[in-house]
Amino acid sequence: MATGSLFDSEPSSAAPVRPPVAANAPLAERRRPRTLDEYAGQQHLVGPEGVLRRYLTAKRLPSLILWGPPGVGKTTLAHLLAEALGQPFAALSAVNAGVKDVRDVIEKARRQRGTVLFIDEIHRFSKSQQDALLGAVEQGIVTLIGATTENPSFEVIPAVLSRAQVYVLEPLSKDVLTELVDKALAEDEILKQKKVRVAEYGALLMISGGDARKLLNLLEIVVESSRPDAKTGEIVITDAVVQQLAQQNLARYDKGGEMHYDVISAFIKSIRGSDPNAALYWLAVMLEGGEDAKFIARRLLILASEDVGNANPNALMLAQSCFQAVTVIGMPESDIILGQTVVYLATSPKSNASYKAIREARALVRQQGVQAVPIPLRNAPTKLMKELGYGDQYQYSHDYAGNFAYQEFMPAGLSGRVFYQPGHNPAEHKMQERLRQWWGEKYGY
């Protein structure tokens, strides 16, 4: 179990202060922000109008789940939030902490109310471990901040989710990553002693994939491994140099490490691109690296709807069967089921029409708010509602020829608005023809 300095001695009323970073620490650790003003990215959360900044202004902090890819600042943000409010801080890693560790921390926190309990990789906690948190969170003994790279809806139990606000941390943008490189070269006590010029940022940014920790560690490798020019004494960073050194130093696939997201990205893109051979290769890389088979099956389930969609509706059913079978069977035999599903999805016709449609519809709701339900579509369970005309003029489709009655289902002002545009494949061409027969020119099908 790893905890913060809070519980190394008897509790005090002082907020935790992180110890100074050792001079020989990795660059990513040396450059870890010490204040929110130094924090890179996530302005939708910590910017002037960010929701977390508003919590700090109000001097209160609810329990949080921070969901995002590696290297975007989840752990650092948890520290900074606690420090900004002067609250005690304790940390557990779900990789090696058990129920007893959780209860020990909670018991010590009873003597210091308001403790922020940070749990890294909370998705790795079992149900019993997460259950052990509930009472302390409900009673305000601890403010929970959980960090996860996995969708909390799947990996965090509903009881914990209902007691915490979920916030999504985004991959860092090109501008933010470039600024991190420039500031590290200019401000780091070790790097600023060297004469370094970045001629090309492309390979640094591409290999890091939005991961600040990976970017800074790669930058350090490149600088330390490069020889200064004999005449100018300058180290020039180019894409070719970065690629060469990265190939020599990047580790093999590690399901808990940085390459995890690179490989799953290549896997998904290979299936989306209809290449079963490449998809099977990346599947093999993950399986040989010990990746969780359910993690892979869950990604296939999402892909079946997002990228295959109604071009082949059977894809979603097969992916669902795959997920259930993998859950029941486990490894090593699940590789057969995964392999079959990967080949099926990769060779299926593709359509993201439904995916784009729901994204556009949700964006409109966020932009305009919820529009009133038309009177004919409203439910009328009470006498008053019936007197107000709720449900009047509604036409029950099954009472009409072809089980269809032409009527308005959209809110006022949105009549004729199109979200779903059928994809260019035989299955959705048939859908488009049916829609045209039903709705005529209303939606332009």
Of the candidates 347, 380, 415, which is a domain's last residue? 347
Mean pLDDT calculated for residue range 99-112: 79
Number of independent structural domains in the chain = 4
Q: What is the structure's pLDDT at 12? A: 36
In this structure, the answer to whether residues 137 and 220 fall within a common structural domain is no
Task: Yes or no: say if 118 and 89 are a contact pair by the CB < 8 Å rule.
Answer: yes
For 254, the token pair is 């590690």
Mean pLDDT calculated for residue range 405-431: 90
Domain range holding 155? 5-168
Instruction: Please determine, for residue 1, whether its predicted confidence score (pLDDT) is greater than 50.
Output: no
The region of weakest confidence among 117-121, 260-264, 366-370 is 260-264
Maximal CA-CA distance, the chain: 92
Mean pLDDT calculated for residue range 168-182: 84
Give the pLDDT band of residue 79 (cuts 50, 70, 90). confident
Mean pLDDT calculated for residue range 275-283: 91
Residue 353 domain-assigned (yes or no): no
| Long-range own/partner contacts, residues 246-250 (CB < 8 A, 24 or more apart) | 246/203, 246/207, 246/218, 246/221, 249/221, 249/225, 250/207
Q: What is the structure's pLDDT at 348? A: 94
In this structure, the answer to whether residues 25 and 160 fall within a common structural domain is yes
In this structure, the answer to whether residues 38 and 130 fall within a common structural domain is yes
Task: Yes or no: say if 282 and 263 are a contact pair by the CB < 8 Å rule.
Answer: yes
Residue 333 domain-assigned (yes or no): yes
In this structure, the answer to whether residues 132 and 160 fall within a common structural domain is yes
Residue 72 to residue 40: CA distance in whole angstroms = 8
In this structure, the answer to whether residues 28 and 149 fall within a common structural domain is yes
Would you give the DSSP letter of residue 398? Answer: G
In this structure, the answer to whether residues 28 and 66 fall within a common structural domain is yes
CA 53, 55, 57, 60 dihedral sign is negative
The region of weakest confidence among 11-20, 229-238, 305-314 is 11-20
Residue 444 domain-assigned (yes or no): no
Q: Which of the pair, 347 or 189, is modelled with greater confidence?
A: 347
Task: Yes or no: say if 304 and 319 are a contact pair by the CB < 8 Å rule.
Answer: yes
In this structure, the answer to whether residues 22 and 92 fall within a common structural domain is yes
Model-level pTM? 0.53
Residue 194 domain-assigned (yes or no): yes
In this structure, the answer to whether residues 55 and 118 fall within a common structural domain is yes
Phi, psi dihedrals of residue 65, rounded to the nearest 5° = -120, 120
Helix (H, G, I), strand (E, B) or coil at 167: strand
Give the pLDDT band of residue 279 (cuts 50, 70, 90). very high
Cβ burial of 217 (10 Å; 0-12, 13-18, 19+) is buried
What distance lies between CA 122 and its chain's CA centroid? 13
What number of other Cβ atoms are within 10 A of residue 27's Cβ?
Answer: 21
Could you tell me which of 1, 38, 36, 32 has the C-alpha nearest to residue 19? 32
Q: For residue 332, is the peptide bond before it cis, meaning its omega torsion is within 30 degrees of 0?
A: yes
In this structure, the answer to whether residues 34 and 109 fall within a common structural domain is yes
Phi, psi dihedrals of residue 147, rounded to the nearest 5° = -115, 135
Residue 352 domain-assigned (yes or no): no
In this structure, the answer to whether residues 65 and 153 fall within a common structural domain is yes
CA atoms within 13 A on the CB side of 357: 15
Residues in the chain: 445
Residue 61 to residue 63: CA distance in whole angstroms = 7
CATH number of the domain encompassing residue 122: 3.40.50.300
Which residue shows structure tokens 């051979």?
277
Q: What is the structure's pLDDT at 62? A: 83
Residue 216 to residue 225: CA distance in whole angstroms = 14
| Long-range own/partner contacts, residues 440-445 (CB < 8 A, 24 or more apart) | 442/416, 443/416, 443/418, 444/418
Pick the most confident of 203-212, 282-291, 300-309: 300-309
Instruction: Please determine, for residue 250, whether its predicted confidence score (pLDDT) is greater than 60.
Output: no
Instruction: Please determine, for residue 157, whether its predicted confidence score (pLDDT) is greater than 80.
Output: no
Q: What is the structure's pLDDT at 15? A: 45
Q: What is the structure's pLDDT at 141? A: 80
In this structure, the answer to whether residues 103 and 216 fall within a common structural domain is no
In this structure, the answer to whether residues 181 and 63 fall within a common structural domain is no
pLDDT tens-place string over residues 252-278:
555 555 567 778 888 999 999 999 998
Q: What is the structure's pLDDT at 22? A: 59
Instruction: Please determine, for residue 197, whether its predicted confidence score (pLDDT) is greater than 50.
Output: yes
- Those residues whose C-beta lies under 8 Å from the C-beta of residue 8, and which sit 6 or more positions away, are none
Give the pLDDT band of residue 11 (cuts 50, 70, 90). very low
Could you tell me which of 401, 408, 397, 398 has the C-alpha nearest to residue 443? 408
Residue 320 domain-assigned (yes or no): yes
Of the candidates 109, 135, 168, which is a domain's last residue? 168
pLDDT tens-place string over residues 317-348:
999 999 999 999 888 889 999 999 999 999 99
Residue 327 domain-assigned (yes or no): yes
Residue-averaged pLDDT of the chain: 81
Task: Yes or no: say if 31 and 188 are a contact pair by the CB < 8 Å rule.
Answer: yes
pLDDT tens-place string over residues 292-309:
899 999 999 999 999 999
Q: What is the structure's pLDDT at 307? A: 94
For 301, the token pair is 């389930």
Residue 259 to residue 252: CA distance in whole angstroms = 8
Q: What is the structure's pLDDT at 8? A: 33
Residue 38 domain-assigned (yes or no): yes
Of the candidates 117, 133, 168, which is a domain's last residue? 168
